[in-house]
Amino acid sequence: MYHQIIKLTLRISVICIAILLCSCNNDTDNDKDHLVFRYNEHSNIGTLDPAFASNPQIIWPTNQLFNSLVQLDDSLNIQPDIAKDWKIIDSINTYVFNLRDDVYFHKNIAFGKDSTRTVTAHDFEYSFNRLLDEKVASRGRWVLKNVDYFKAENDTTFTIKLKQPFPAFLGLMSMRFCSVVPKEAIDMYGTGFRSNPVGTGPFMFKLWEENIKLVLRKNPLYFEKDALGNSLPYLEAVAITFLPDKQSEFLQFVQGRIDFVSGLDNSYKDEIVTTRGELQEEYKDKVQLITSPYLNTEYLGVFMEGETTALQSKKIRQAINYGFDRQKMITYLRNGMGIPAIHGFIPKGLPGFTEIEGYDYQPEKAKQLITEYKAETGDDNPTISIGTNSQYLDLCEYIQRELEKLGIKVTIDVMPPSTLRQMKSSGELDIFRASWIADYPDAENYLSLFYSPNFTPNGPNYTHFKNEVFDSLYVQSLSLSNIDERKVLYTKMDSIVISEAPVIPLYYDMAIRFVNKKVSGLGINPQNFLVLKRVRKEK
């Protein structure tokens, strides 16, 4: 199997280099490896249509192929993209975007042989209508749920009016769902647009052998430039492989066959980092370790309408929160790569995060709460069950051991991720292991999990938590355009969630990248999006 992987990788490398050389007339200039950025996607990519870019494995390549009205920088500030500027009128209900007039779609036969055309506001009107089209069945329809109407006023002016104020709206517009696509290409390829994408991004589609390789080439017409006026991107190509095994992926990285690895998998975590979260000595000369707070809260959710008596008690839910050492868990089970969630549900790195008083490790307080629960209910053997997938079994087993020391019996049900998602959504699990990764950079995204009108299946409130004060504050926050004013309400809402304990926050995740030292300009951001337009590689 190992030799097959090596042969496959070599084959892909040769193909990518050949593609580069075919455009080069100088036979002596055959060292182009430094112009190709390589990474592996261990999960399959199902589509390159941005209307379906709902997970990182699709978002990463579509980030290279498409643009939206606005974009986010690595600090999550909203920046111009195809919209060069905008204004907000009618007390944040109406947005008027002024578009660049020098943005071109990738050359494609859909426009005629070796032809293209400029992007206009009418293309955004078409793209948004397509996003809403029930026949398309886009996973991103929800981003326009607060929109009353949108309209191309002329070629360079695009207006969006909201049904009601929604301060996080501009952040939504940066999502890949909101990319501009050309009607000509959709008409030509139909559902085949998934494998024949035509966008405006820094790279354009070249070839895709599904589950084997995906190659993108530099877009020579790309409109963005660096601070010195040089055209982006710097690279000539992006080559993506699809080895499904993370340990094999790591081996390819160590051998220099791919340029970076994202995340810290159990199969290699002890090999590359210490328990303090630092690079092992043998890798320091060749590898950069880049980390950032990641907009992801890992947690255990409690189904508040379940039949388990113990979990209906706030004292037991609080006891669980006090009953295990999050710092110890991160140090030994995640090699220090994570931030213990001892404050609120809103993760560190997101505007709205506040160091509110959450749950640190207090076993004596946990024992006291359990004793009070037993006295009040007569239940001398409180028992709970946690549903998880195998990837997080080690965390759940650690919590199981710690809680059983305190007098709570814990069973763990391990199931496939798809089963876990289904049972979590249908309320069939007393406690479920879950993650919440921000769709857009506003704390409202996290607090929406506890707004009672969002009970599943109508929204993301999987715990079926309901609190009238929380609901009132949530509605009030939607009417405030000032982020500092919203933060005050966000802190109050987060405090209510922590006090009532419908969740057991475990840790705030970290975005982790191991990068070959020949690579520069990759950067990192709290959404862990891959942006390659400013990347360079040394020879």
3-state DSSP assignment of residue 390: helix
DSSP string for 32-67: -GGGEEEEE-SSPP----GGG--SHHHHHHHHHH--
**Rounded to whole angstroms, how far apart are CA atoms 335 and 507?**
13
Residues in the chain: 539
Terminal CA-CA length for the chain: 30
Angstrom distances, CA of residue 357 to CA of 24, 71, 498, 503: 61, 34, 8, 15
Residue range 415-420: mean pLDDT, rounded: 92
The set of residues, in sequence order, having a beta carbon less than 8 Å from that of 505 and lying 6+ positions away, is 297, 298, 299, 321, 341, 344, 345, 358, 359, 498
- Region(s) of the chain under CATH 3.40.190.10: 1-45+201-259+518-539
Q: What tokens appear for 491 in the block?
A: 């802190």
Q: Which CATH number fits domain 293-511: 2.40.30.10, 3.40.190.10, 3.30.70.580, 3.10.105.10?
A: 3.10.105.10
In the predicted model, is pLDDT for residue 376 greater than 50? Answer: yes
Calculate the CA 472 to chain-centre distance.
29
Q: What is the pLDDT of residue 447?
A: 96
Question: Which CATH number applies to 1-45+201-259+518-539?
Answer: 3.40.190.10
In the predicted model, is pLDDT for residue 2 greater than 50? Answer: no
In the predicted model, is pLDDT for residue 26 greater than 60? Answer: no
More confident site: 466 or 1 = 466
Phi, psi angles (nearest 5°) of residue 95:
-115, 130
**Rounded to whole angstroms, how far apart are CA atoms 522 and 261?**
12
Q: What band does 483 get if pLDDT is binned at 50, 70 and 90? A: confident
Query: What is the 8-class DSSP label of residue 141?
Result: G
Q: What band does 19 get if pLDDT is binned at 50, 70 and 90? A: very low
3-state DSSP assignment of residue 471: helix
Query: What is the 8-class DSSP label of residue 44?
Result: P
Q: Which CATH number fits domain 67-200: 3.90.76.10, 3.30.420.40, 2.60.120.10, 3.40.50.300?
A: 3.90.76.10
**Rounded to whole angstroms, how far apart are CA atoms 447 and 491?**
10
Q: Are the CB atoms for 100 and 221 separated by under 8 Å?
A: no
**Rounded to whole angstroms, how far apart are CA atoms 134 and 138?**
8
Q: What is the pLDDT of residue 307?
A: 84
pLDDT above 90 covers a percentage of the chain that reads 77
Residue range 219-223: mean pLDDT, rounded: 98
Q: What is the pLDDT of residue 389?
A: 93
Neighbours of 342 (CB within 10 A): 18
Phi, psi angles (nearest 5°) of residue 470:
-60, -50
Closest among 305, 325, 247, 287 to 455, alpha carbons compared: 305
Q: What is the pLDDT of residue 139?
A: 87
Query: What is the 8-class DSSP label of residue 309?
Result: G
pLDDT above 70 covers a percentage of the chain that reads 94
**Rounded to whole angstroms, how far apart are CA atoms 352 and 489?**
9
Which of 8-22, 34-48, 254-268 is the least confident region?
A: 8-22
Q: Are the CB atoms for 170 and 77 separated by under 8 Å?
A: no
Q: What band does 92 get if pLDDT is binned at 50, 70 and 90? A: low
Q: What band does 14 get if pLDDT is binned at 50, 70 and 90? A: very low
Q: What is the CA radius of gyration of the chain?
A: 25
- Region(s) of the chain under CATH 3.10.105.10: 293-511
Q: Are the CB atoms for 166 and 478 separated by under 8 Å?
A: yes
**Rounded to whole angstroms, how far apart are CA atoms 103 and 379?**
67
Q: What is the pLDDT of residue 43?
A: 81
Torsion sign (Cα): 45, 49, 52, 58: positive
Q: What is the pLDDT of residue 219?
A: 98
Which of 151-155, 272-276, 373-377, 395-399 is the least confident region?
A: 272-276
Condensed to tens digits (0 to 9), the pLDDT of residues 497-528 reads 999 999 999 999 999 999 999 999 998 998 89
Residue range 142-167: mean pLDDT, rounded: 94
Q: What is the pLDDT of residue 320?
A: 98
Residue range 171-197: mean pLDDT, rounded: 96
In the predicted model, is pLDDT for residue 8 greater than 50? Answer: no
Q: What tokens appear for 349 in the block?
A: 């790195």
Q: Burial of 388 by CB count in 10 Å (0-12 exposed, 13-18 middle, 19+ buried)?
A: buried
Angstrom distances, CA of residue 538 to CA of 192, 260, 290: 37, 14, 18
Would strands 431-437 and 383-388 be described as parallel, antiparallel, or unpaired?
parallel
Closest among 85, 57, 47, 67 to 182, alpha carbons compared: 67
Condensed to tens digits (0 to 9), the pLDDT of residues 316-351 reads 999 999 999 999 999 999 888 899 999 999 998 787
Residue range 257-264: mean pLDDT, rounded: 94
Angstrom distances, CA of residue 220 to CA of 64, 202, 217: 13, 8, 9
**Rounded to whole angstroms, how far apart are CA atoms 60 and 45?**
10
